[in-house]
Structure 1
Amino acid sequence: MAYSIKRGKGSPRAVARKIRHQRVRKKVSGTPERPRLVVTRSNRHMVAQVVDDTIGHTLCAASTLEQAAKGVEGHKVGAARRVGELVAQRARALGIEAVVFDRGGNKYHGRVAAVAEGAREGGLTL
């Protein structure tokens, strides 16, 4: 996944996030024994996917778009924690106990950290 990012395209913060994500992805990859937990954050929603990079397939996923994650106290952060719990529950049903955490170039703070905490509470080892 070697692609170049033009520094003139997009806002400086978005470009910096993409560069961070590219740098992290050089080091982080998922295996069948320990797949990658990818967290994608938008202004409104959170998506968490468990990906096996050797075959390039998403094994399971959870999102704030799902009914199970809606109506949680704490609005965004609470919903992000619930997404982490849901993805952990689905991963454990597939026999996955440990994952590699990919924060997607975002800071490990707020909603991204809440997904990780929810996944840990759900029984995954990060």
Structure 2
Amino acid sequence: MAMEKKIARLRRAKSTRARIRILGVPRLSVLRTGQHIYAQLFSADGATVIASANTLQAEVGGGLKSKKNIEAAAQVGRVIAERAKAAGIDSIAFDRSGYRYHGRIKALADAAREAGLQF
């Protein structure tokens, strides 16, 4: 069951990534696990990681009560947006990696938008 869910999620992610590749803009990709949330900003060609943030990093998860809730995801969104701005990137495409746009994924995206990223 678990493997079928993962395969279905990756299938959904594949079509999104194909559309993002056509756009030719940097891609903000997220990975959600039971304990943590990770975000990476890839270049338009997907070859290099421009910026990354996750709840394992001390500067991101330092003051958080829990690293697996909506507040933690919002903090990761704010930090990735700051790092993207520092790298000179304002406009990106959001790659939700096949996850539903809901809960922690939505919190991360909304926080990144509030911090100045456009997508």
Per the normalisation by structure 2, the TM-score is: 0.87
Matching residue's letter, 1:17: R
Structure 1 distance, partners of 2:106, 2:95, is 11
Secondary structure of 1:11's match? helix
Structure-1 separation of matches of 2:18 and 2:46: 17
1:104 aligns with 2:107: no
- In the TM superposition, what whole-angstrom CA distance separates every residue of 1:17-62 from its partner, at most 9, and x where no partner exists? 111111212211274xx31011111111111111014260000110
Let me know the Cα RMSD of the aligned residues.
1.9
Amino acid at match of 2:47: G
Is 1:65 matched with 2:56?
yes
Alignment of 1:1-126 (within 5 A): 11-29=3-21, 31=24, 34-54=25-45, 56-70=47-61, 71-72=63-64, 75=67, 76-126=69-119
What is the distance in 1 between the residues matched to 2:13 and 2:79?
24
Q: 1:97 to 1:13 in 2, by over 3 A?
A: same
What is the percentage of aligned positions where both structures have the same residue? 35
- Alpha-carbon distance in structure 2 between the residues aligned to 1:11 and 1:99: 30
Return the alpha-carbon distance in structure 1 between the equivalents of residues 51 and 3 of structure 2: 32
Distance, in Å, in 2 between the alignment partners of 1:88 and 1:74 is 21
Offset of residue 121 of structure 1: 1.3
Greater helix fraction, Structure 1 or Structure 2 = 2
- Quick one: which amino acid aligns to residue 98 of structure 1? S
Q: Which 5+ residue runs of structure 1 have no aligned equivalent?
A: 1-8
CA distance in 2, matches of 1:46, 1:24: 20
Structure 2's unaligned 5+ residue stretches are none
Aligned residues: 116
Moved over 4 A (4+): none
Structure 2: how far apart are the matches of 1:87 and 1:55? 17
Q: Distance between the aligned counterparts of 2:110 and 2:37, measured in 1?
A: 14
What letter corresponds to residue 27 of structure 1 in structure 2? R
